[in-house]
Amino acid sequence: MARVLITSAIPYINGIKHLGNLVGSQLPADLYARYMRARGHEVMFLCATDEHGTPAELAAAKAGKPVAEYCAEMWQVQKDLSDGFRLSFDHFGRSSSAQNRKLTQHFARVLDEAGLIAEVSETQMYSHADGRFLPDRYIEGTCPNCGFESARGDQCDNCTKQLNPVELINPRSTISGSTDLEMRETKHLHLRQSTMKDRLEEWIDSREGWPILTTSIAKKWLNDGDGLQDRGITRDLDWGVPVQKGDAPWPGMEGKVFYVWFDAPIEYIACAQEWVDAGKGEDWARWWRTDKGAEDVRYVQFMGKDNVPFHTLSFPVTILGSGEPWKLVDYIKSFNYLNYDGGQFSTSRGRGVFMDQALEILPSDYWRWWLLSHAPENSDSEFTWENFQASVNKDLADVLGNFVSRVTKFCRSKFGEAVPEGGAYGPQEDALMAELTRRLGAYQGHMEAIEIRKAATELRAMWAAGNEYLQDAAPWAAFKEDPARAAAIVRLSLNLIRLYTVLSAPFVPDAAAALRTAMACDDAWPTDVESALNALPAGHGFSVPENLFRKITDEEREGWQAQFAGVRD
């Protein structure tokens, strides 16, 4: 079986994330990790918190806490929420780790030795009121492209245009609000990405089957306008990885730190080192070093489309430019945006549902199913409460939950809490097996290709096929005339529950775990439908599970719509 390395784009430390952030990287990565494990592959699934840069400093200042203390607290919050959503990371690390600091400084040294780092004198915004240079995210103003009044110095969140602080109209400090700013000369390190353009393009062209979204963004950055530009990798900040050449000082760079987008992707590798140091494993290099066995690893990354340029260009420049045998990504699954009820999710304004709030009102499976079955793969998608209610009530409660309840309760009332014996399968069962065989093949194909919405559609269709079979076969009617025939129908249906348990686990793991317990069954992936529908023999005991899913009422939906429409402190 193959070894599969999976990384999710690491979330910023500054606060609790909304559902759009969750479905843009971590949740689909977990779905794929769970599926690949279920198919027998050895999986390493890594994620971490992105703790450096201005977002961390600003959030800590707002919270009135030292930045290190704030980051430690928020790491625990994000870890707890990831556990709540059943994200099955092998390790959830921190970009502020000692491992990431050492590795980042190592890459800086070897890149410098390779001639890929240049010292550049540049002008940056200096705030007289704050007595310091202002990194990009410490500056806000009006976007010259779309007129958005809260654009940052590096990017406009409204139109996504990449910016320089000098381009902003009426720039101001986000620390003091002062507009008393001037451009002053300072020195920084730049990664010479432009020298790697041809090699990057050749590498990107060698990747097979990447989503159009991923390749189109990468090629746009490579070729539009002036082409791939060199990028600053240091900042005038107190919090971050100190600028050093390995263990040696970097003359002229005293008091500076590496730019967060230089050290953050390196944390993917450092996270595996943290995994070892935490006692969870023994050999991180076999996942990341091609001279240590990683040439046999398939590496898959998950991220939102705003992260694609850094993962297709900047991070590969770091890896390729090092000249060392590091594992490069094989496949990048990128996502569009999930919008919220006619507008955008907004962390600053609290518009939309955040991960902590979601778990307060409903269990994680409800959210997992809706988000994955509506994942913004080919275009932006939109969360509406009406659609969420309909999906939960119809897919989870009426289709999957209702099937389980009807079958187990009927069996208990007529045959007891054990798989009944007797009777034979006939044309109805043959037709069902044929349909399930076709759909199982399609489901597995979509999961292998990471076509999430298509996989969800096939899974739901398999649930629906069981309901249609049960309704047509009508064991309650057959029982009156031919109890043996009713026993055969129920036996097949109980085995269907076991099959659904296995196939549904990547999407709704809590429900699957409850069903495994109730059915007293294993979670072995089916080799074929016929054998799967005979896995539970006559006499196999089970218990009637609690109601898997409850329906969302209109009153609840209306209340949540009002609750999450406003501004969150």
Residue ranges for the known binding site are 143, 146, 156, 159, 347
In whole angstroms, what is the distance from residue 184 CA to residue 132 CA? Answer: 10
| Whether the Cβ atoms of residue 302 and residue 333 lie closer than 8 Å to each other | yes
Binding site for Zn(2+), residues? 143, 146, 156, 159
Per the structure block, which two tokens stand in for 300?
Answer: 């898959």
Per the structure block, which two tokens stand in for 408?
Answer: 């187990």
126-132 contact pairs (CB < 8 A, 24+): 126/181, 126/182, 126/183, 126/184, 127/173, 127/175, 127/176, 127/178, 127/180, 127/181, 128/178, 128/180, 128/181, 128/182, 129/173, 129/176, 129/178, 129/180, 130/173, 130/175, 130/176, 130/178, 132/236
Sequence-distant (≥ 6) Cβ neighbours of residue 317 within 8 angstroms: 116, 191, 193, 196, 200
Q: DSSP alpha helices (H): ranges in 39-113?
A: 54-63, 67-84, 98-113
- The residue type of 240 is G
In whole angstroms, what is the distance from residue 388 CA to residue 311 CA? Answer: 32
CB atoms within 10 A of CB 52: 31
- The residue type of 220 is K
Binding site for ATP, residues? 347
In whole angstroms, what is the distance from residue 296 CA to residue 286 CA? Answer: 9
494 sits in which H/E element: helix 483-504
The burial of 236, by beta-carbon neighbours within 10 Å (0-12 exposed, 13-18 middle, 19 or more buried), is given as middle
In whole angstroms, what is the distance from residue 360 CA to residue 560 CA? Answer: 12
Can you tell me which residue has the tokens 């050749």? Answer: 202
In whole angstroms, what is the distance from residue 490 CA to residue 72 CA? Answer: 53
In whole angstroms, what is the distance from residue 312 CA to residue 316 CA? Answer: 6
Pick from 300, 315, 309: which is nearest to 263 by CA? Answer: 315
Give the DSSP letter of residue 360. H
| Whether the Cβ atoms of residue 399 and residue 391 lie closer than 8 Å to each other | no
In whole angstroms, what is the distance from residue 363 CA to residue 374 CA? Answer: 18
- At what angle are helices 98-113 and 260-277 packed, to 10 degrees? 130
| Whether the Cβ atoms of residue 132 and residue 124 lie closer than 8 Å to each other | no
Per the structure block, which two tokens stand in for 165?
Answer: 């602080």
